[in-house]
Structure 1
Amino acid sequence: MVIITGIVNHNFWRTLIDGGGGANILFQDAFDQLKLQSKDLSPVPYPVSRFNGSATYPDGKITLPVTIGRDRAAQNVMAEFLVMDVPSVYNVIMGRPMIHQIQGVVSTYHQMMIYVSDKGHSERIQGSQEAARKCNYFRSSKERREDKDDEEKEREKDRSTKK
């Protein structure tokens, strides 16, 4: 399920709700948009397992204010994020820690999450089917840069063979 999340008064599109994830992840591009610096991060002494089974050490961790929902349906929390500099089509992954913190119940079938607002009322947020589909077709910015480098190498190779 993909939603919009407010972090430090900045709206991040492409936030993945991952009930199977044991951590909240903020990817490097999103971290850079917040105009924060690496000195703001605390060290993380353990690796994080990626989807393909490989392990990567986070750049650090940071606690930031997060807003889910809007107006009277808003839930404001302070959440800890691991900052990762790896390719991703998402800006943020909201894992179990934050889902539990906002007392969220996620239904992937309905593409919806119910949570408790700051006012104590049950609220819901609808996932964006369109954004989720786009994420399936997006390629992360780092992968695109690598692809461009590969294309450039292929062009140089073609030029040298034509001479």
Structure 2
Amino acid sequence: MEAKASLYNKSWKRCRLSNQLDELVRNSFLRDYLQETQGVADVAVIGGDQGHEIPVHGEVHTISGGFSGGGCTTSQQKRYARTVMSVEAQEADDALDVDLVFTKADLRDVVPHDNDLVVISVVTVGRKVHRVLVDQGSSADVMFWMTFNKLQLSPDLLRPYTGCLYGFVGDQVEVLGHLELRTTFIDGTTSRTENIRYLVINAPFAYNILLGRPTLNRLRAVSLTMHMKMKLPGLGGKLITIKSDQKEAKRCYENNLKTKRGVFMVTTRAPSEEGVANQR
């Protein structure tokens, strides 16, 4: 009987305590305590196996658009996705299955540098174009208006482009249009030619052309600033190695510093509805 009475008293005390806590919660006396404990629980879940708590307040995504991923519209992106996933496209790419390896031998002709950029030369429209910046951070392939004129191209070749180009700090750059040019990458007697769609912009820049991710992915190319080279597979299982012009890279970088226009990563995004309405 004594054991049953003791068990009954403990149960009654727990029930009474529970009712008192519920009353305090209803009267908002424990609101701060509940919020604090909930925040700690969320941090513990996010941290996982980490040794310290890292609160996460949101997520940051990259800006996409332009020709990266197929285009600005949903239909262009879906068509691009179908092309990428097709068996025919995968079989055709097997001809360019070459291992891109960088070794110590690639460092022998490299002049010690302080984080120089990879600047190469390409051939397009029958002319060799120097000061071509290889920029993995750019989502667009850009040709500058001055280069367009030096190549003696007609403005009639430009097709309309509905998107916008933005620099690193968000400043908008005028887009005159886009065109597709056959561009050749040469390594001695070995070369490879591909059609590249350039966005033509009217903005001062120390480089003639900016090669971004669309072309690098299309070429299956890899560039390393440490080795000052870009490598890409050639036809017939050959490897194309293009050395960076370090003198030209330093000169371009210094020119950018003099004009207070640092090298920026170009991203693309479609114009907002408000911007389109203002243009009208």
So what's the TM-score if we normalise by structure 1?
Answer: 0.80
- Give the alignment of 1:1-163 within 5 angstroms: 1-138=118-255
Q: Structure 1, unaligned stretches of length 5 or more?
A: 144-163
CA distance in 2, matches of 1:128, 1:26: 19
What is the CA distance between 1:72 and its match in structure 2? 3.5
Task: Check the 8 A contact 1:114/1:122 in 2, yes or no.
Answer: yes
Task: Check the 8 A contact 1:5/1:15 in 2, yes or no.
Answer: yes
Deviation per CA, 1:5-37: give whole Å up to 9, x if none.
Answer: 111111111000001111110101110112112
- Aligned residue pairs total 142
CA distance in 2, matches of 1:52, 1:90: 19
Q: Which entry has the higher C-alpha Rg, 1 or 2?
A: 2
| Overall identity of the aligned pairs, in % | 26
SS at 2:237's partner residue? coil
What is the CA distance between 1:70 and its match in structure 2? 4.0
SS at 1:42's partner residue? coil
CA distance in 1, matches of 2:128, 2:236: 21
CA distance in 2, matches of 1:14, 1:71: 18
Instruction: Select the structure with the greater relative contact order (CA < 8 A; seq sep ≥ 6).
Output: 1
> Deviating runs (4+, > 2 A) in structure 1?
none
Change (3 A) 1:109 1:70: closer
If each structure's helix is expressed as a fraction of its own residues, which one has the higher value?
A: 2
Q: Structure 2, unaligned stretches of length 5 or more?
A: 1-117, 261-280
So what's the TM-score if we normalise by structure 2?
Answer: 0.48
